[in-house]
A and B are shown apart, each in its own frame.
Chain A
Amino acid sequence: MTDVAVIPMRTPAATGEHRKLKIGILRYNPQEPASVPHMQTYDLDEADGMTLFIALNEIRETQDASLHFDFVCRAGICGSCAMVINGRPALACRTLTKNLGPDISLAPLPVFELIADLSVNTGKWMRAMSERLQTWVHRKEEEIDLSRLEERMEPELAQKVYELDRCIECGCCVAGCGTARMREDFVGAVGLNKIARFRLDPRDARDDDAFYELIGDDDGVFGCMSLLACHDVCPKELPLATQIAFLRRKMVSIGWK
């Protein structure tokens, strides 16, 4: 049975050689008056199984203590570490360097407020979006009898709601969005997906008229130009293209009433 699996990590160690990586990082710290945006390149010896989480921490510990970036779970589930990796928004913690060329470029997500270097304030943006779209279940009755059996739900429906609930608010979809660059208040695929999620949830008493009030304009579903980079870059592979198209159709029918 020993043939079943070998840890399929990078194998150049077999020859005793590791690649030399050149990691270019867009540096800028608005807190420091002397700071101007510039690219800074760090040389790093690649290691087996190296992720950008490992690489960036090594750079900070051994070369440059002033480097800013955000990681929390380092397991691809919390959404903290999205950045532009070789021109494409992605989660840094689960990006293996072996899947990239030896020259790697890293930049902060656009659209979001820059904190410093690779760190951006997605939290503030997401909270504002949640407040605006009221991204919680609006129940018919406020009272919940906690001692009683829970309300029933069809298993497939629960699965479908979870499918949309898997969003980790990493911001990749917003960073990849053409509309978000032009319209400051565009809710992004993350916002539209949330509306699709609550629309699907029978526990939410809001109807399409209510949802139209939230997203029936150019800052909502009608602002989407269907470029659909959001769909391509979503690390959770959410069905954003389908959801946005479906929502648009539903909202059009409300708008024409």
Chain B
Amino acid sequence: MKVIYTDVLVIGGGLAGLRVGIGARRRGHDVVILSLVPPKRSHSCAAQGGMQASLGNVVKAQGDNEDVHFEDTVRGSDWGADQKVVRMFVNTAPKAIRELAAWGVPWSRVQKGNREVIINGQKVVITERDEAHGLLIQRDFGGTKKWRACYVSDGTGHAMLYAVSDQAIAHSIPVHERMEALALIHEGARCQGAIARNLVSGELTAYVAKATAIASGGAGRLYRTTTNAVICEGIGTALALETGVAAVGNMEAIQFHPTAIFPAGILVTEGCRGDGGLLRDADGKRFMPDYEPEKKELASRDVVARRMEEHIHRGKGVQSRFGEHLWLDITLLGARHINSNLREVKEICRYFLGIDPIKDWIPVRPAQHYTMGGVRVNYTGESPTLKGLFAAGEAACWDMHGFNRLGGNSVAETVVAGMIVGEFIADFCDSPENNVDFSTALIGEFLQREQTKLDTLIDGNGIEEANTLRVRMQEIMTEKVGIFRTGDDLASAVEELQELLLRSRNIGLRYRAPGANPELVSAYRVQKMLKLALCVAHGALTRTESRGAHFRQDYPRRNDAEWLKRTLATWKNADDTLPSLAWEPLDVMQMELPPGWRGYGAKDYLDHPDTARRAAEVEATRSKLSASGRWAVQEALMPYETLLPTRFRGRNERIDEPLERHLTVRQNARQT
């Protein structure tokens, strides 16, 4: 029996997992990171266009601060987010980006003086301030009031991932590559690590830990058409679900990105539209202003994706042998801009489409992009029901994105949640009461259980083919649990996914090698993925309203009166074919920003009974404290600062908000 003991086990070597590991390591705890692939190959590297942090350096960002970032994020979430977590996030994002700047990320910088930009299809000259020269630059992104997305050309995630991964190496954190977690070890409501399989040798190892953190990213591969990497199969999230104790939250909240290249599904960044790119139809007409006069191409992703599909449905799509698509036109940005700020986009167009976006339009259509849901955790990142289990990043439902996340907020979440959850994990490990009495019998039992499952697949007499089941699942999800949903489609999806799940218990292999074996991997993963797919479809069927990216044609209105709550799914028994659903209400009376219109998309929604009362309270507080400054107002409306780890508290300096006035908070923000 191979057992490795550590303080902290991190499952996933992308930005969130690495930053969690660094945080815990700096506090003196032993950390082991498991990763399916070398960490620098993680899907974090695919974040292109930018990281949201309210630095307010460029003129188009002047006046930006935590309050504006907070409101944009909550509106983007369609009020599904936990507003206290959003506050923790927006206050830490500037600190995270400044840490990354110090770690060597080559953020693009402000050049003082005049520059030409494209705004609403027109060339405009803007003048950057002298005092901003050399600070981080920002570009526009969807669903934001200010230019806030800081970027490294359009290789933002790559540069961040390399800097953070190299920091993990600098901190001597071991990353066990090509190791896949198969099950969480838990006794009752206490998580004690995981059983992992070496993808080269097939050997199982028990990793026993005080704290286990899932940071395995999203589940895009539940869908046929997705921008996600092939490793984004939601397996980490499924491990939590399979405990029967931890819950997954809001799995029905799936984001579709407006601009995936057609038909390959590879992402081209929202920065294309942020920098002035336009969406055009079969007639070459720019159509978004007709639907969204205020935000146009830069409404939130859920809204733009729906408008695009609606436009195609009206017969305005471009016909091609692969089906219909629309155009993304960035030709108006010019060669110089594309060659310096959108070079990955140019490479993708060149290699996968054989076109040059400096002169050609890019064929695009929405594709699955992001999993807002995930392992349900509280503000510390810990599961409220399975002690010692933490989650961060896309794998988590923390929950700062609610039913739609804003572009640039996810790569920001990876590092921000990594910082915050890393501290809470260190606190958890510091506390003597969280020591675990490891039982070798229990570890042996979990090891044996996983080995038996593998042996059954390898040596059993199953007749089903893993790949067939996976392809059918992906078709069902794309066709029936996609951008537009109906009760009938969802009911039939749930029914057929249950059949597939039953069939997945009878998989047989053509290739029976116990070691490196892609078919075996595919087999045990599809069993897990089908459970997650059922959480998505069943959650979507049950939620009889439309909110953010979850759009029900038969219930097109957001219904705060009945549905201002988070879906929680658990998988009680291994033999079940459906998750058990429960709902966690969001308390309007605690909200800093009571529900209202997002500023784009439909204006039609049903209010929660508390909304008017809370809105009046908020209004009264705002007018009473109007002379006391924005911090006093915020503090009175929804105090949150004590929720943050001490070292990440305190205000953020901006050109327009010098810090000298508030020296008292400096000590807290210092980092050792």
Interface residues, chain A, with chain B CB atoms under 8 Å away: 1-2, 4-5, 7-9, 13, 29, 31-32, 48-49, 51, 60-61, 65-68, 70-80, 94, 96, 115-116, 119, 122-124, 126-127, 130-131, 134-137, 139, 142-155, 158-159, 161-162, 165-166, 168-169, 198, 201, 203-204
Contact across chains for B229 and A8 when beta carbons are under 8 A apart: no
Contact across chains for A77 and B344 when beta carbons are under 8 A apart: yes
Q: A32-B513, A73-B229, A123-B37 are in contact. List 20 more A-B contacts (CB 8 A).
A: A5-B361, A7-B320, A9-B354, A29-B516, A65-B510, A72-B43, A73-B230, A74-B230, A75-B348, A77-B158, A78-B42, A79-B41, A94-B352, A123-B177, A130-B166, A146-B99, A155-B109, A159-B153, A168-B40, A204-B104
Contact across chains for B229 and A147 when beta carbons are under 8 A apart: no
- Interface residues in B319-362 by Cβ distance below 8 A to A read 320-322, 327, 340, 344, 347-348, 351-355, 360-361
Contact across chains for A73 and B45 when beta carbons are under 8 A apart: yes
- A126 CA to B669 CA, complexed, in Å: 34
Report chain A residues within 8 Å CB of B670.
143, 145-146
Quick one: closest B residue to A126, CB to CB?
B38
- Does residue B111 face the partner (Cβ distance < 8 Å to A)? yes
Contact across chains for A31 and B38 when beta carbons are under 8 A apart: no
- A107 CA to B134 CA, complexed, in Å: 46
Report chain B residues within 8 Å CB of A201.
104, 106
Given known contacts A94-B351, A147-B665, A165-B159, is B106 in contact with A158 (CB within 8 Å)? yes
- A247 CA to B625 CA, complexed, in Å: 60
Interface residues, chain B, with chain A CB atoms under 8 Å away: 37-43, 45-46, 55, 94-95, 97-99, 101-104, 106-111, 133-137, 152-153, 155, 158-159, 162-163, 166-167, 169-170, 175, 177-178, 200-201, 229-231, 262-264, 266-267, 280, 282-284, 318, 320-322, 327, 340, 344, 347-348, 351-355, 360-361, 363, 467, 509-511, 513, 515-519, 648, 650-655, 659, 665-666, 669-672
Report chain B residues within 8 Å CB of A67.
518
Report chain A residues within 8 Å CB of B177.
123-124
Contact across chains for B153 and A162 when beta carbons are under 8 A apart: yes
Chain B min CB distance to A133 (Å): 10
Quick one: closest B residue to A154, CB to CB?
B134
Given known contacts A146-B99, A155-B134, is B158 in contact with A31 (CB within 8 Å)? no
- A29 CA to B518 CA, complexed, in Å: 13
Contact across chains for A31 and B516 when beta carbons are under 8 A apart: yes
Which residue, of A60, A79, A145, has the highest number of chain B Cβ atoms within 10 A? A145
Contact across chains for B516 and A116 when beta carbons are under 8 A apart: yes
- A13 CA to B322 CA, complexed, in Å: 12
Report chain A residues within 8 Å CB of B669.
145-147
Contact across chains for A203 and B104 when beta carbons are under 8 A apart: yes
**What 6 pairs between A and B have smallest CB-CB spacing?**
A1-B284, A123-B38, A152-B134, A137-B104, A147-B669, A65-B511
Q: Of the candidates A29, A48, A75, A116, which one forms a contact with B266 in the assembled complex, judged by CB atoms under 8 Å apart?
A: A75
Contact across chains for B467 and A61 when beta carbons are under 8 A apart: yes
Given known contacts A127-B169, A144-B98, is B46 in contact with A77 (CB within 8 Å)? yes
Which residue, of A48, A71, A166, has the highest number of chain B Cβ atoms within 10 A? A166
Report chain B residues within 8 Å CB of A94.
351-352
- A70 CA to B360 CA, complexed, in Å: 32
Quick one: closest A residue to B344, CB to CB?
A77
- A168 CA to B344 CA, complexed, in Å: 13
- A131 CA to B159 CA, complexed, in Å: 18
Q: How many A-B residue pairs have CB under 8 A?
A: 240
Chain B min CB distance to A211 (Å): 15
Report chain B residues within 8 Å CB of A51.
352
Contact across chains for A134 and B134 when beta carbons are under 8 A apart: no
Q: Of the candidates A31, A73, A76, A131, which one forms a contact with B201 in the assembled complex, judged by CB atoms under 8 Å apart?
A: A31
Which residue, of B230, B320, B353, has the highest number of chain A Cβ atoms within 10 A? B230
Contact across chains for B135 and A147 when beta carbons are under 8 A apart: no
Which residue, of A74, A126, A136, A169, has the highest number of chain B Cβ atoms within 10 A? A136
Contact across chains for A162 and B106 when beta carbons are under 8 A apart: yes
Q: Of the candidates A5, A31, A134, A169, which one forms a contact with B515 in the assembled complex, judged by CB atoms under 8 Å apart?
A: A31
Report chain A residues within 8 Å CB of B39.
123
Q: Of the candidates A65, A75, A149, A152, which one forms a contact with B509 in the assembled complex, judged by CB atoms under 8 Å apart?
A: A65
Contact across chains for B672 and A162 when beta carbons are under 8 A apart: no
- A137 CA to B162 CA, complexed, in Å: 11
Quick one: closest B residue to A74, CB to CB?
B230
Given known contacts A7-B353, A8-B355, A155-B108, is B230 in contact with A31 (CB within 8 Å)? no
- A75 CA to B352 CA, complexed, in Å: 8
Chain B min CB distance to A233 (Å): 15
Chain B min CB distance to A52 (Å): 12
Chain A min CB distance to B115 (Å): 11
Report chain B residues within 8 Å CB of A71.
230
Report chain B residues within 8 Å CB of A131.
169
Quick one: closest B residue to A91, CB to CB?
B351
Contact across chains for B518 and A68 when beta carbons are under 8 A apart: yes
Q: Of the candidates A60, A72, A73, which one forms a contact with B518 in the assembled complex, judged by CB atoms under 8 Å apart?
A: A60
Contact across chains for B106 and A5 when beta carbons are under 8 A apart: no
Given known contacts A5-B361, A71-B230, A159-B108, is B513 in contact with A147 (CB within 8 Å)? no
Contact across chains for B169 and A130 when beta carbons are under 8 A apart: yes
Report chain A residues within 8 Å CB of B320.
7
Given known contacts A2-B282, A48-B321, is B43 in contact with A73 (CB within 8 Å)? yes
Contact across chains for B46 and A73 when beta carbons are under 8 A apart: yes
Given known contacts A72-B230, A126-B40, A127-B38, is B166 in contact with A148 (CB within 8 Å)? no
Quick one: closest B residue to A51, CB to CB?
B352
Chain B min CB distance to A78 (Å): 4
Q: Of the candidates A29, A49, A142, A169, which one forms a contact with B263 in the assembled complex, judged by CB atoms under 8 Å apart?
A: A49
Quick one: closest B residue to A1, CB to CB?
B284
Contact across chains for A134 and B98 when beta carbons are under 8 A apart: no
Contact across chains for A146 and B95 when beta carbons are under 8 A apart: yes
- A219 CA to B74 CA, complexed, in Å: 54
Quick one: closest B residue to A134, CB to CB?
B170
Contact across chains for A77 and B102 when beta carbons are under 8 A apart: no
Contact across chains for A136 and B348 when beta carbons are under 8 A apart: no
- A99 CA to B55 CA, complexed, in Å: 46
Contact across chains for B101 and A127 when beta carbons are under 8 A apart: no
- A26 CA to B348 CA, complexed, in Å: 28
Given known contacts A68-B518, A144-B98, is B155 in contact with A166 (CB within 8 Å)? yes
Contact across chains for B166 and A135 when beta carbons are under 8 A apart: yes
Contact across chains for B104 and A72 when beta carbons are under 8 A apart: no
Report chain B residues within 8 Å CB of A75.
46, 266-267, 348, 352
